[in-house]
Structures are given as structure tokens and as C-alpha cells.
Amino acid sequence: MTVRRFENLDAIRGFAMVWMTFFHFCFDLNNARVIQQDFYRDPLWTWQRTCILSLFLLCAGAGQAIAQRQGQSWRQFGRRWLQIAGAAGLVSLGSWFMFPSSYIYFGVLHGMAVMLLLVRLMAPLGVWCAGAGGLVIATHLIAGRALSTGASSLFGLDFDARGLNWLGLITRLPITEDYVPLFPWLGVMLLGFAGMQLLLNRSPNLSPKTPCTRAHRALARLGRYSLSYYLLHQPVMLGLLWLAGFGF
């Protein structure tokens, strides 16, 4: 398979990476007690996290649509999937050392590994994945209200327990530094997949190369290395803060 990068998509991903870096740098400053912010409840920060995560998942879904259109095999998909799953394991290990009582066990990479597999399996639905995505998001909203009334007890299930809370059908947030469950976030990835499928169907000769500014090209270049960047940016920032004399 000859991979053709879509620069606009890479640029959007690159923009999300820059925004994520700013967010995490502020988070690190907060942990170092340089600033005092509530990253877990203040809408200024919770909404930023939602927007950043949505951009990443929309791009991941769109990327899957492009890969499908370009004939990506299961073997090629599996190679990339193993990289993401392995990176998720590294995140869990690293976060356990830093936050042993709230380490990351189902964060963005864990969620993406599961979601990418599900999107791959649902790819034959094509643009109808938009409906499936909407259903996933609606289920999250409806189930949240139903479960808050104790409906889960009818089935003898505790969706807040760690064995099931990765689904996202919870009544309270788990204690963890990052949490990206299937509901509603699978819906966001499916919307990204369906949106790109629709665009490719309407413009089958859509060019992956587009005229762009220098900033656009820089973001697109950054967006091509999202996984490596994601794994390295926090250790680098933490190291720089440590060298600057800010302890944790």
C-alpha cells in the first residue's frame, strides 16, 4: 500500500498536539505548585481537555477512512495497532511511578487501541458509521441518567468498578489521571471516520496535497509523528522543569 498523507488532516492533528502540550505544561506547573488550578473540575481546563481529545479522535477516525480507501491490509493495521497498544502499556507504567494511587489504566492510548479495532471492524458500514457514532454518544447520555437512578442494580452489575468502567457507563468518575472510555468517545471516532468517508465519496480525486502557509506546513509535519511526540513530550517537559529547579 502506498501511503499518501493528507496535509490538512496532519495539520489539524499537529494543532491538537500543540494545544495538548500547552495543556500538559500548565498541568505540570500546577503539580510543581508554580500555579494553582483545578484541572479536574474547572471548566476552563475540563473543556480544553474535551476539545483536544475530540480533535485527536476525529483525526484518528478520518485517518482510518483514508487508510481503508488506500487499501490498508489487516497486517499493516495490526503493526500500527501494536505500536499504540505498546505505547499505552508504557503510559500505564510511567504513570504508576508518578501517580501510584491514580495511575492511567484506560487513557487516550488505551481507548484508541480498542476504538481503532472497533472502527476497523465497522468500516463496511461506510458513512452509516455516523449513525452508529451518534447512537454511541446518545447511549452515553441516556445511560448516565438511567444508571444514576440505580438501574444497573437490576442486572447485578457495577459499571463504576474498574472491570467495567472502561465502558464509560458510570455514575462517578474513577480516580485516574486520564480516562477515555468507549462511551462516548468511540462515537467521536466514528463520526470522524464517517465524515472523511463522505468527503472521499463526494470528491474521489481529492488531493492530499494542498497549498498552505509555512505555519500550516509546520503543523502538518508535526502531525505526522503524533505517537512518538505524545510519548516524549511529557518526559521532556518534566525534565526541563526539574532542571529549572521545580520539584514534584
- 44-100 pLDDT, tens per residue? 999 999 999 999 999 999 999 999 999 999 999 999 999 999 999 999 999 999 899
* Number of helical (H) and strand (E) elements in the chain, helices listed first: 8, 0
pLDDT at site 12: 95
**pTM reported for the whole predicted model:** 0.92
Q: Where are the domains of the chain?
A: 7-243
For residue 101, pLDDT over 70 is answered with: yes
| Cα–Cα distance, 212 to 8 (Å, whole number) | 9
- Assign 148 a pLDDT band (cuts: 50, 70, 90): low
Phi/psi at 239 (nearest 5 deg)? -65, -40
- 190-245 pLDDT, tens per residue? 999 999 999 999 887 676 676 578 899 999 999 999 999 999 999 999 999 999 88
Burial class (CB in 10 A: 0-12, 13-18, 19+), 206: middle
| Cα–Cα distance, 70 to 197 (Å, whole number) | 12
Q: Which residue has the higher pLDDT, 157 or 176?
A: 176
pLDDT at site 20: 98
pLDDT at site 204: 72
| Cα–Cα distance, 163 to 202 (Å, whole number) | 42
Report yes or no: 247 and 38 within 8 Å, Cβ to Cβ: no
Computed on alpha carbons and rounded to an integer, the radius of gyration of the chain in Å comes to 19
pLDDT at site 245: 85
Average pLDDT, the chain: 91
